[in-house]
Amino acid sequence: MIRKTIFAVALSALLFIQCNTNTDFVIAKDQVGKLLKSNTIDDIETVFASDSIVRDTVNTRIGAAVKKINIYEKGGKHLLTLTPNMDSIQKFEIIRIYDPRYVTEKGVGLNSTFKDIKDKHSIKKIITALNNVVVFLKDSDAYFTIAKTELPSNLQYGNNTNIEAVQIPDKAKIKYMMVGWE
């Protein structure tokens, strides 16, 4: 009886670990899921071969620079928007995350709160904008935007206010999640 119970617990743990090790949605150093910082715009068809790739149609001339590339899962779910740099060999500079399955190695994603960010990552700096605050991390290329409407009313108006981490409520929701590669 005890052996059956131990076996069942071990099997359940193994299945749980296998189900939660999908690296297709992990944001790590120089990586967003299947996309690597070293990938160029020409690699996109290979990297996202099983997904739908929609290029910005504003620039349709041959040789014109692509402004944005949207990646959709087969079936229509928006995963990412990729913004290439303007270098002669175009790599990706900014990645906007749309799918909440994408999380940092420490488990922070679109469905997380500010408390999750500060508990699991070191905050590098917070920049105050007109309607948002942007939280940059020391240990990741990911950064998060939180709407000022998530803040106490005395911090919601004006862009000259320097907002610090202690002023952002733990329950503040993430509005945008981005990854920046320079």
Express each pLDDT in 31-86 by its tens digit.
Answer: 999 999 999 988 999 999 888 889 876 554 555 556 899 999 988 899 999 999 88
What's the predicted TM-score (pTM) here?
0.81
Rounded CA gap, 156 and 145, in Å?
A: 14
Between residues 92 and 58, the one the model is more confident about: 92
pLDDT tier at 18 (50, 70, 90 boundaries)? very low
Question: How far apart are the two ends of the chain, measured CA to CA in Å?
Answer: 58
Instruction: Extract the tokens encoding 95.
Output: 């990645």
